[in-house]
């Protein structure tokens, strides 16, 4: 079950923290590992980066530990 405090007061956690834990980056930048992984997943699935809903579903299907908020953040980063 979801955390009651998050349900009542909203989730104010930083999605970048979860992305850094799941996809460690080297000297390339904080989220370079997550971005390169996501770009590869989308290319393999032939999903356009501007289709946010399909991007989020594809990323979460590829990595079940990825929660919704970081997936949305990553989708927005790739759409730029």
Per-residue pLDDT of 5-60, as tens digits, reads 777 777 788 999 999 999 987 767 788 899 999 999 999 999 999 999 999 999 99
55 found inside a domain: yes
Q: Is residue 66 part of a domain?
A: yes
Query: Quick check: 65 pLDDT over 70?
Result: yes
Domain count, the chain: 1
pLDDT at residue number 27? 67
Q: Does the pLDDT of residue 1 top 60, yes or no?
A: no
Residue 44 in any domain: the answer is yes
Domain span holding position 44: 14-79
pTM: 0.83
Provide the CA 54 distance to its chain's centre, in angstroms: 12
* Between 67 and 5, the higher pLDDT residue: 67
Closest CA to 70 of 21, 25, 9: 21
pLDDT for res 77 = 93
């Amino acid at each position: 079950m979801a955390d009651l405090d998050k349900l009542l007061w909203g989730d104010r956690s930083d999605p970048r923290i979860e992305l850094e834990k799941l996809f460690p980056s080297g000297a390339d930048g904080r989220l370079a590992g997550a971005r390169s992984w996501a770009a590869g997943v989308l290319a393999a699935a032939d999903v356009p980066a501007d289709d946010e809903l399909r991007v989020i579903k594809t990323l979460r299907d590829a990595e079940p530990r990825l929660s919704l908020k970081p997936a949305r953040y990553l989708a927005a980063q790739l759409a730029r």
